[in-house]
Amino acid sequence: MTYTFPDFFFWGAATSSYQIEGAIAAEGRKPSVWDRFAATPGRVLNGDTGAIACDHYHRFREDVTLMADLGIRHYRFSIAWPRVIPDGRGAVNEAGVDFYRRLVDCLEEHGITPYATLFHWDSPQALEDRYGSWRSREMAQDFAEYVAAVVERLGDRISHWITLNEIACFTHLGYGVGQIPPHAPGTVVATPKDVWQTSHHALLGHGLACQAIRAASPIPCAVALVDNYAVTVPLAETPEHITAAQVAFHTAWANGGILFPALTGAYSPLLLEKLGADAPDIQDGDLQTICQPLDVLGLNVYSGSYVRAADNADGFETLPFPASYPRLHMPWLWVVPDALYWGVRHVSEVLGHRQLSIWVTENGCAVEDVLTEQGEVLDCDRILYLRQHLQAAHRAVSEGYPLGGYFVWSLLDNFEWAWGHDRRFGLTYVDFDTQQRIPKASARWYAECIRQNRVV
């Protein structure tokens, strides 16, 4: 088996604004909820913040050149709402837009196609102060207006748009019942229903944004939602365990209340039954707004969970990971490469979307990288992880599922949210004192995969 991909398959790299840009007060940008969260003692490991991060705002030309040198021709990045509309609503900060214009022009000079995410968690603090961010329906409307402002200005040079990144992370991990949640804005709410209401508002924001992009884009464009739905993997590939994994998929984490309404126009009935009074309030017309036609679904996949058939009311059982199960440098990073394959296949077989193009918009791992005396990072653990996931991608493509491309997370070591600079996901090592970039062994390996269009 050579694991050669068809010609249409593309290879890319992904980043996000708050994790790499720094320059948090440059040229009119105002604080995001992550600036406030990171400045609050105890929220981020070692008190790290995104104030400087990879200083990409000033070093983007070097980073684009690095990508080009590796042969990466597809780049997913995100646009920071508080750079473009610093108060969240109202006046557009043209200097903030100009940064992204410079970035995209530089990408074009290097033959790299841009894929812009319009929201990767760094929402304006001003809207948190005004109405509690996603707790309010107003947030969806303000998001759509910001999206229209971006697409009106950059739509001549960007034709791949992603509305929101990982709704469950910035809602179900940003609003917590009874205890401070791990992600910004870090709001404690009274009931699980309050949390589900925030993800419902985010879904509305997604739907309105799809409409805004299509209305504002001067050229034909592709519109995507990126989700990190929880992937259930059958313990063995037999019909009974596959069915169990498919049923379990509905109620795994937030799938039934995020991916299901976005793709089918309805919350999963299995989830609604489980939620009872905790289900969000859904107004007339909301589900139609939410379920916009999509050109692509972006799957962010890092891990998965094993499921088997069981003789109980659910018909399945989700298995705990044994203590010795392989795990990389995050508490949740159990290595389950088959999750990539099943994540793609479930969209066809559980959600009935057999033709919807899928891109893996993030896949990668944190490992305990060490810079050797020779100045190398020999991350064969990361290569092992990526190789196995790309082999699973190859399987999905070979079986005819509509998987079109793959973005590795991430181009650079960066500000890893509540873990600060302590966890390194990059193909490129970043020395945060000197801002030196050093491509790791995995970067060279990935470059060779791209060159040969196969898993090497």
Among 32, 125, 163, 165, binds ligand FCB (CB under 6 A): 165
E strands, 374-431, are 403-409, 428-431
Pairing of strands 428-431, 436-439: antiparallel
Q: Which of 63, 227, 286, 362 binds ligand FCB (CB under 6 A)?
A: 362
Q: Is 104 exposed, middle or buried (0-12, 13-18, 19+ CB in 10 A)?
A: buried
For the chain, how many helices (H) and strands (E)? 16, 15
| Among 128-136, 162-170, 340-348, 394-402, the segment contacting ligand FCB (CB under 6 A) | 162-170
Active-site residue, selected from the candidate residues 166, 349, 376, 448: 166
How many residues touch ligand FCB under the rule CB under 6 A: the total is: 12
Nearest to 296 by CA among 206, 210, 358, 208: 358
Q: Does 166 bind ligand FCB (CB under 6 A)?
A: yes
Residue 302 phi, psi (nearest 5): -125, -30
H or E element that contains 131: helix 125-131
Nearer to ligand FCB, 143 or 415 (CB): 415
- Residue nearer to ligand FCB on the CB measure, 409 or 445: 409
| Strand bridging mode 232-234 / 305-309 | parallel
Residue 173 phi, psi (nearest 5): -105, 0
3-state secondary structure of 237: coil
- 223-242 residues in contact with ligand FCB (CB under 6 A) are 228
Residue 17 touching ligand FCB (CB under 6 A): no
Selected from 54, 139, 154, 169, the binder of ligand FCB by CB under 6 A is: 169
38-66 burial: b if 16+ Cβ within 10 Å, else e? beeeebbeeebbbebbbbbbebbeebbeb
Q: Of 94, 362, 399, 416, which is the active-site residue?
A: 362
| CB-nearer residue toward ligand FCB: 226 or 247 | 226
Stretch that binds ligand FCB, among 45-53, 161-169, 263-271, 289-297 (CB under 6 A): 161-169
Kind of pairing, strands 305-309 and 316-318?
antiparallel
Among 3, 5, 12, 16, binds ligand FCB (CB under 6 A): 16
Position 283: which residue type?
Answer: Q
Distance CA 293, CA 276 (A): 29
Q: Which of 11, 260, 417, 445 binds ligand FCB (CB under 6 A)?
A: 417
Given 37, 134, 146, 425, the residue binding ligand FCB (CB under 6 A)? 425
- Should residue 122 be labelled a site residue for ligand FCB when binding is judged by CB under 6 A? no
Residue 166: active-site member = yes
Q: Which of 416, 427, 447, 455 binds ligand FCB (CB under 6 A)?
A: 416
Is residue 362 annotated as a catalytic residue, yes or no? yes
Catalytic residue annotation: 166, 362
Q: Contact residues for ligand FCB (CB under 6 A)? A: 16, 19, 165-166, 169, 228, 300, 362, 409, 416-417, 425
